[in-house]
């Protein structure tokens, strides 16, 4: 009987050691990536940015959300057919965008054939004679450009920006 107690105690100590060793490998809290507010199809959405093809843009995005955005130059080499567009405002209505103006506007949200998590940044600049307003749909951005109210500048910078919430859905 004394031998059984020693064996049982030894097994209990070994199991406790395995549990402690296993727990030591797991973080106490799961890592999180902060979401950012933007617009798609006329509605507010949430998204994350995880990687960017340009180091300067990666730093701006890292500073914006307090979570590292990795630099992956090869993203800029992805074929245009694999990229959506994100419209980033350089002036106009102040807000929560990366340049301190209105939040970004996306084309092709999830649930549409055009959805792509990789996005090329297109800079949107309001013209001096235009009356800036918040735009919430890619079609509104393109209409404002066609009317001469804004100029659009494709940057060639690609950012991985998967949606977390979108019109009619979420992860």
Q: Do the domain assignments include residue 67?
A: yes
134 burial via Cβ count (<10 Å: 0-12, 13-18, 19+): middle
Q: What is the pLDDT of residue 106?
A: 98
Q: What is the pLDDT of residue 12?
A: 46
Q: Do the domain assignments include residue 149?
A: yes
pTM, whole model, 2 decimals?
A: 0.83
Q: Do the domain assignments include residue 170?
A: no
Q: Do the domain assignments include residue 121?
A: yes
Q: Do the domain assignments include residue 123?
A: yes
Q: Do the domain assignments include residue 65?
A: yes
Q: What is the pLDDT of residue 74?
A: 98
Q: Which domain range does residue 161 map to? A: 33-165
As for how many domains the chain has, the answer is: 1
Q: Going residue by residue through the chain (171 aa), what tens digit of pLDDT does each one get?
A: 555 544 454 454 445 454 544 555 555 678 889 999 999 999 999 999 999 999 999 999 999 999 999 999 999 999 999 999 999 999 999 999 999 999 999 999 999 999 999 999 999 999 999 999 999 999 999 999 999 999 999 999 999 999 999 999 999
Q: What is the pLDDT of residue 14?
A: 45
Contact 106, 86 (CB under 8 A): yes
Q: Do the domain assignments include residue 13?
A: no
Q: What is the pLDDT of residue 29?
A: 79
């Amino acid at each position: 009987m004394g031998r059984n107690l020693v064996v049982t105690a030894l097994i209990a100590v070994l199991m406790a050691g395995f549990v402690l060793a296993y727990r030591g490998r797991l973080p106490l809290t799961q890592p999180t990536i902060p979401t950012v507010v933007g617009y798609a199809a006329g509605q507010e959405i949430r998204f994350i940015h995880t990687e960017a093809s340009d180091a300067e843009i990666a730093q701006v995005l890292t500073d914006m959300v307090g979570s590292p955005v990795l630099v992956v130059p090869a993203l800029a080499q992805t074929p245009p057919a694999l990229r959506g567009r994100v419209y980033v405002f350089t002036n106009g209505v102040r807000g929560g965008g990366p340049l301190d103006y209105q939040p970004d506007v996306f084309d092709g949200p999830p649930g549409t054939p055009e959805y792509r998590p990789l996005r090329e940044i297109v800079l949107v600049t309001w013209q001096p004679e235009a009356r800036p307003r918040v735009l919430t749909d890619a079609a509104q951005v393109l209409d404002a450009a066609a009317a001469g109210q804004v100029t659009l500048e494709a940057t060639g910078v690609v950012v991985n920006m998967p949606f977390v919430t979108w019109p009619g859905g979420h992860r």
